[in-house]
Amino acid sequence: MKLFSETKHYLSVYRKFISTSVSEATSFRTSFILMIFMDIFFFLSAILTVDFIYDHVATIGSWKRPQLMFFISFMLTVDHLHMLLLSHNFWRFSDDLKSGNLDFTLLRPLSSIFIVFFRYFKPSSIPNSFISTGTLIYFGMQNGFGPTQWILLPFLVILAFILLALLEFIISCAMFWLVEGLGINFLRMQMQQLSRWPDFIYGYFTKKLLTFGVPVLLIGSGPVHFLLDINNWPYLLGMIVSCIGCFYFLIFLWNRGLNHYDSASS
Amino acid sequence: MIITKDLTKKFVSYKKEEGMKGAFNSFFKREAVEKFAVDHFDLNIEQGEIIGLLGPNGAGKTTLMKMLTGIIVPSSGTVEIAGHSPWKREKDFRKKIALVMGQKSQLWWDIPSIDSFKLLQKYYEIPDARYNEKINMMGELLNVKDLFHVHVRKLSLGERMKLELMASLLHDPQVLFLDEPTIGLDLVAQENIRQFLKDYHAQHNTTIVLTSHYMADVQALCPHLVLISGGKKSYDGSLEKFENILGHKKSVYFTFNQCIDKTDDFWKTQDVLFSENCDEVELKLDDHEIREVSAAILNKFPVVDFHTEKMPIEKVMKKIMENPEILSGV
């Protein structure tokens, strides 16, 4: 009952986050329209670059065009969710830490992690939802997915997004100690880059490190291997275990960070 | 309602040398500087009290406020507010308090304030009927209803501060922390905010902790004063007692239309200070003397103006900041 009322509370706040974000974003109309085009351009350029490479080679690693294009679509869909729901917040967090504006967040009767990382929604990314979902379905069909894969696909996209988010939240915790967040934000983006390529391009030790140490390869390669061959279920298990481990590590680190926070002077 | 014991906060900062060479040196070796922003601070505030937290810049007032609200964690000591330890940041505790900072905004800059209020309604789970009632009541009291749909960035400082106050009070906090709420405001706006706080306190009996450099705020609102200096408490008592720190006598000022004779026998029996041009005097008088002495001066000298000191607290604060030793005997 308590869990139900808490969830209801958080959802009602999140609805307001969305409506206030839309209100804010549409205050600057030209910028809003520009952002829509920029997002679509980024998405199409990523897809078309890989498509172009396959005009000249038959396989990359062990994957042919439909498999790698599905992987790219999967990662772009996860990336799209990241852009839509989180991306703005990492930059604002760094500013709020430096300016002391985090103070008000800490006074609110909700989880500060929730407010810090979900406060700003990016409405200009909404149009991209149709393109990312469309390409994901298209390349899923090209790979001859059966009912099981189609049922699993949305859950795996969400799980991959959760893992990416948790890893980025963990990295962002370092801002409590470093205060200047620019370097941390670039580190976070480099980590995203690592996950955007299939795991077979990495050497043995790098692959092990990026799968079991900092599990970025489980964000994209894990679920795609599983979807392409259901017998690869250990990837799914790895994702679930990583999410649980990262969640508890995040809570520990966040609380340490809050204790270290000294707030900019007034 | 608020009890602190030995509350201490130590900050570590780093010295940075000037120029390119200094930047290079500091990059590899930095000298750490430890500073006690708040040092073994004891405080006891009853429910419904309004206390003024006074002190010069850098005395530790804001740090103390931030520890009381749970924003920062003390280095040592204890705090209890309405039965909670602030830095545990329990949901119930956060619903019981509110903070207004004159130099920081909790309203969202690029949207109208009504959108921020709606978000706060969701944060604090305020029922619609109660929310609407509070919005209407405070909007009318502060005369800001017309501003609800204006982007916050388009508002004047005074208008914004009224809306900040509204935002803080929507959830009916039991304890309200006000950190320089009238800073930078014109006299009319200051007076409006003071009057609103007075009325609000009379209606709701909210415990209020106020810091301000404007003694008019303190004099109008705070019967209980706490003075903090160098992180330590140097005074904790009534406003009346504070005003009498320099003595019980009142200052009475007379202005004359010409230079008067300083050697006149009348002045020999008085505690008097002459201006450079001898056309103004300041007399220190006991309450019972004021009427008699003033009448004598009005009869004897060409008086064009006279008044008693309007804010003795301002004078006391000035003297204490110049010479903190004054408080050692209090």
- Span A164-192, pLDDT tens digits: 999 999 999 999 998 888 899 999 999 98
Query: What does the pLDDT read at residue A266?
Result: 59
Contacts of B169 (CB under 8 A, 6+ apart): B98, B134, B138, B176, B200
Query: Residue A20 is nearest to which of B66, B104, B115, comparing CB atoms?
Result: B115
Chain B residues in contact with A108 (beta carbon < 8 A): 94, 123
**SS3 (DSSP) at B81:** strand
Strands B207-211 and B250-256: unpaired
What residue type is A63 in one-letter code? W
In this structure, are residues B209 and B299 in contact, taking their beta carbons and an 8 Å threshold?
no
pTM of the predicted protein model: 0.84
- Considering only CB atoms, A262 lies closest to which of B72, B87, B125, namely B72
Conformational region of residue A263, where left means phi above 0, alpha means psi within -120 to 50, and beta covers everything else: left
Which alpha helices (H) appear in A61-209, and where do they start and end? Answer: 65-85, 87-99, 102-107, 112-118, 126-142, 147-172, 175-178, 182-195, 204-208
Q: Residue B95: which of A20, A99, A109 has the nearest Cβ?
A: A109
Nearest to A253 by CA among A195, A166, A188, A191: A166
Superfamily designation of domain B2-19+31-243: P-loop containing nucleotide triphosphate hydrolases (3.40.50.300)
For B250-329, CATH gives 3.30.70
Q: How confident is the model at residue A44 (pLDDT cuts 50, 70, 90)?
A: confident
Angle at B325 between CA B320 and CA B327, to 5 degrees: 65
Residue pairs spanning A and B at CB distance below 8 A: 81
Q: Following DSSP, what letter does each residue of B117-157 receive, concatenated? A: HHHHHHHTT--HHHHHHHHHHHHHHHT-GGGTTSBGGGS-H
Q: How close B95 gets to chain A, by Cα (Å)?
A: 6
Q: Average pLDDT for residues A83-107, to the nearest whole number?
A: 91
Best residue of B68, B111, B177 to probe chain A, by most A CBs closer than 10 Å:
B111
Nearest CA in chain A to B67: A262
What is the reported pLDDT for B311?
Answer: 61
Band of residue A211 on the pLDDT scale cut at 50, 70, 90 = very high
- Smallest Cβ–Cβ distance between B71 and the set A19, A24, A263 belongs to A263
Q: List chain B residues with pLDDT less than 70.
A: 310-311, 328-330
**Token pair belonging to B248:** 């019980």
What's the CA gap between A169 and A173, in Å, rounded? 6
Cβ–Cβ under 8 Å, residues B327 and B234: yes
Torsion angle in degrees (nearest 10) through CA of B202, B204, B207, B208: -60
Instruction: Determine the average pLDDT of the residues in A96-107.
Output: 91
Rounded to whole angstroms, the Cα distance separating A260 from B73 reads 8
If you measure CA to CA, which chain B residue comes closest to A120? B108
A265 touches chain B (CB under 8 A): yes
Question: What is the per-residue pLDDT for B264?
Answer: 86
Class of residue A128 by CB neighbours under 10 A (exposed 0-12, middle 13-18, buried 19+): buried
Asked whether B74 and B39 are in contact (CB, 8 A), the reply is no
Q: Measured between alpha carbons, how far is A127 from B60 in angstroms, rounded to an integer?
A: 50
Low-confidence winner among A126-130, A136-140, B285-289 (lowest mean pLDDT): B285-289
Residue intervals of chain B classified under CATH 3.30.70 are 250-329
- Closest residue in A to B91 (Cα) is A109
CA distances B294 to A68, B248, B258, B264, Å, are 97, 18, 18, 16
Residue B123 with chain A: CB contacts under 8 Å: 13, 108-110
The residues that bridge with B43 in the sheet, in sequence order, are: B4
Out of B62, B70, B123, whose CB is closest to A266? B62
Is residue A13 less than 8 Å (CB to CB) from chain B? yes
pLDDT grade for A109, boundaries at 50, 70 and 90: very high
**A80 contacts B63 by C-beta, under 8 angstroms:** no
Distance CA A174, CA B225 (A): 40
Q: How do residues A241-257 score in pLDDT, each as one tens digit?
A: 999 999 999 999 999 99
CB B38 within 8 A of CB B67: yes
Contact A266 B180 (CB under 8 A): yes
Q: Closest-CA residue in chain B for A25?
A: B110
For residue B300, what are the contacts with CB-CB under 8 A and spacing of at least 6? B264, B266
How far is B252 from B249, CA to CA, in rounded Å?
9
Q: Using a CB-CB distance cutoff of 8 angstroms, which residues of chain A are in contact with residue B183?
A: none
Q: Decide which of A114 and A262 is more confident.
A: A114
Rg, Å, chain A Cα set: 19
The residues on B that touch A, with CB distances below 8 Å, are 11, 62, 66, 69-73, 87, 89, 91-92, 94-95, 97-99, 101-104, 106, 108, 110-112, 115-116, 118-119, 122-125, 151, 179-180
Q: Is some CB atom of chain B closer than 8 A to the CB atom of A59? A: no
